[in-house]
Amino acid sequence: MYLSEKAKGIKASTTLAIDSKFKAMKAEGIDVVGFGAGEPDFDTPDYIKKAAIAAIENGQTKYTPAAGTMELRKAVAEKFLRENGLSYEPSQIIISNGAKHSLVNAFMAILNPGDEVIVPAPFWVSYTEMVKLADGVPVVVTATEEDNFKISVEALEKALTDKTRAVILNSPSNPTGMVYTEDELKAIADFIVAHDLYVISDEIYEHLIYEGKHISIASFGEEIKARTIIINGVSKTYAMTGWRIGFAAAPQEIAKVMANVQSHASSNPNSIAQAATVAALSGGREEIETMRKAFCERRNYMVERINSINGVSCKKPQGAFYVLMNISALKGKTLAGKLIESSDDFAEVFLNEAKVAVVPCSGFGADDFVRWSYAVSMDTIKEGLDRLEAFLQKNGF
Ligand code: PMP
Ligand code: GLU
């Protein structure tokens, strides 16, 4: 069949594929436990739901300006000032259908065919595909486990060519959970400014930090701010994945192009979800803090348990809600009759035999690892790790 070569080159999202396989198995009545999609198990806080109901009753059910309501753009600008010390005009804020959409808009706005974007690995599976969608070329630079999965300026220097246009930064990171320190960020900011690049700073996990603190790279001064597109949203912090609201803050000219692109691709994001997001951003921190504490407890348990099981190990992440489990010791071994040659092999046999869904990190540029999300209940975590232990023991570990 005649199809776009570009679209044919885009891979399906592994995270979403694993999640739908898990859900299909569950619907068939199979006793499966899932650690696939990074989606908080908590319900959206009540005060946010109430704001959405009020918005429906008040008739906020029509088109809004394509880049979002002025009320929400102002609320997001206030959020940046309050939480990140960054001053933006509402015209520099674009509200989109999830942070995913914000990212696609950003790449569309800054890339020309053949422009290179440095993607530090392990990376969230969608970055490389989004760059390709925008006719860019992803250049993967790998950060090792010994380096706490954090990229150094030396590694960035090596990847630099005259086609390099931008660097993606994601701190706290999906899938590694690592958080860059102030010094590390400052060094990257200096590199970006020195080479006149852009940085796409995906800060969607900023409130899910258990050690250290979040700093936006844009906050090191006007030079770096003028080269930064910040991506954020309410999916993770406010347990609002299904509402589909993300936002970007960018230099004025970039914001305008992003808004123009969006005005043709999708128009405004859902008007009711926008009203709910105004409430979310101006609400109390209590619910968020309760969720953060629960994630922290789960992380501690998960890290300790994984490191007590023979054959696997993990670093302790400082943020987000993922643990990368090192499975390199299992490679070359046969588990339940299957030779493990890749993270996909392990994830497949683990799902089929132990009925536990984890995400293979082949698609994240880290094939020695699988990702566990701990945005699930403590009971599920215990069950999943009991199954891991039993499965590996049964197979000689
Ligand atoms: N960035 C990262 C790093 C993510 O993990 C996600 C999760 N889907 C997103 C962006 C997009 O989130 P959403 O589209 O739900 O706002
Ligand atoms: N970001 C989440 C994850 O990595 C949700 C799924 C997705 O959008 O990829 O699991």
Domain range list for the chain: 5-43+286-394, 62-282
Q: What is the overall mean pLDDT for the chain?
A: 96
What's the pLDDT score for residue 184?
97
Mutate to test the pocket of ligand 2, among 174, 205, 361 (most ligand atoms within 8 A of CB): 174
C-alpha 165 – ligand 1 centre gap (Å): 22
Q: Which ligand is nearest to the CA of 320?
A: 1
Q: Which residue ranges have their beta carbon within 6 Å of ligand 2?
A: 13, 15-16, 37-39, 124, 126, 174
Ligand number nearest to the C-alpha of 361: 2
pTM: 0.97
**Cα-Cα-Cα-Cα dihedral sign, residues 181, 186, 188, 192:** positive
CA distance 190 to 235: 31
186-218: per-residue pLDDT in tens?
Answer: 999 999 999 999 999 999 999 999 998 999 999
Share of the chain above pLDDT 90, in %: 95
pLDDT score, position 284: 75
Class of 62-282 per CATH? alpha beta
Cβ proximity of 334 and 340 under 8 Å: yes
pLDDT value, residue 70: 98
Domain topology for 5-43+286-394: Aspartate Aminotransferase, domain 1 (3.90.1150)
Peptide bond preceding 45: is omega within 30 degrees of 0, i.e. cis?
A: no
13 pLDDT tier (thresholds 50, 70, 90)? confident
| Atom number, ligand 1, closest to the C-alpha of residue 99 | 16
Instruction: Tell me which DSSP letter residue 234 carries.
Output: S
Would the pLDDT of 49 be above 90? yes
Spatial separation of the C-alpha atoms in residues 378 and 394, rounded to whole Å: 24
Nearest ligand by distance to the CA of 242? 1
Name the pLDDT band for 14 (thresholds 50, 70, 90): confident
369 forms bridges with which residues in the sheet? 326
Q: Roughly how many angstroms between the first and final C-alpha of the chain, as a whole number?
A: 48
Decide: 354 and 387 in contact? Cβ < 8 Å. yes
From the CA of 106, the nearest ligand is 1
- The rounded Cα 339 to chain-centroid distance in angstroms is 31
Residue 262 CA to residue 265 CA, distance in Å, equals 5
Least confident piece of the model among 120-124, 281-285, 288-292, 354-358: 281-285
Pocket-forming residues, ligand 1, beta carbon under 6 Å: 38, 98-100, 124, 170, 174, 202, 204, 233, 235, 241, 246
From 14, 20, 39, the mutation candidate for ligand 2 (largest count of ligand atoms within 8 A of CB) is 39
Is the pLDDT at 18 greater than 90? The verdict is: no
The strands making up 359-360's β-sheet, listed across from edge to edge, are: 313-314, 322-326, 369-373, 359-360
pLDDT exceeds cutoff 90 at 15 = no
By most ligand atoms within 8 Å of CB, the mutation choice from 19, 97, 124, 321 for ligand 2 is 124
- pLDDT band of residue 20 (cuts 50, 70, 90) is confident
